[in-house]
Amino acid sequence: MRYAGLTGIVTALALGGCTSEFWDWDPDTHIALDPLTATGLRIDRIEVKSSYYSPADDFSEAFVPAFRRQTEACARGERGVRAVVFIHALDRGSDLIGENGRAQLSGSVDLIDRRGRVVGRYPLSAALSDRRDDVGARRVALGDAFGRQLCREAFG
């Protein structure tokens, strides 16, 4: 009986570890595409996720088209991959203004092939030099900046 309680505690701790977020596992933070592989890829689907919640539609509706415009210009290959944009600290009321008074965003983009394998992972961050008053304009500008940075780092 004494071991039953201990077994329960050990089981709870083990199962608790199974439910942790992916980033709690401390995966490789940067996985670079081979340049030859990069030339054959195109981004056919974009998902936006956050550590706090699934980003609201209004964030994704502004961010994704801007991000897509940039990546369509650099990733023109035949093989489609899914881009999962993970925003590190995006909360529901986020105006995207950091402590320094500038619009900023940090996160990463995983490029995932059709078999579900992460073939590229790029930590990204963007900061706007000017403070735009409209939060929608900030979302678009940061989507553009994330897309441009991914193009530079992944697709040359």
Residue with the bigger pLDDT between 108 and 90: it is: 108
Q: Could you count the other beta carbons within 10 Å of the beta carbon of residue 155? A: 20
27-155 fold: Double Stranded RNA Binding Domain (3.30.160)
pLDDT in tens, 4-63: 555 555 454 454 444 445 445 555 689 999 999 999 999 999 999 887 666 567 888 999
What pLDDT, on the 0 to 100 scale, is given for residue 19? Answer: 41
Alpha-carbon span 148 to 143, nearest angstrom:
9
Q: What 3-state DSSP class applies to 4?
A: helix
| Of 66, 47, 156, the residue nearest 111 (C-alpha) | 47
The domain segmentation of the chain, as residue ranges, is 27-155
Alpha-carbon span 150 to 143, nearest angstrom:
11
Q: What percent of the chain clears pLDDT 70, i.e. is strictly above it?
A: 76
What pLDDT, on the 0 to 100 scale, is given for residue 34? Answer: 93
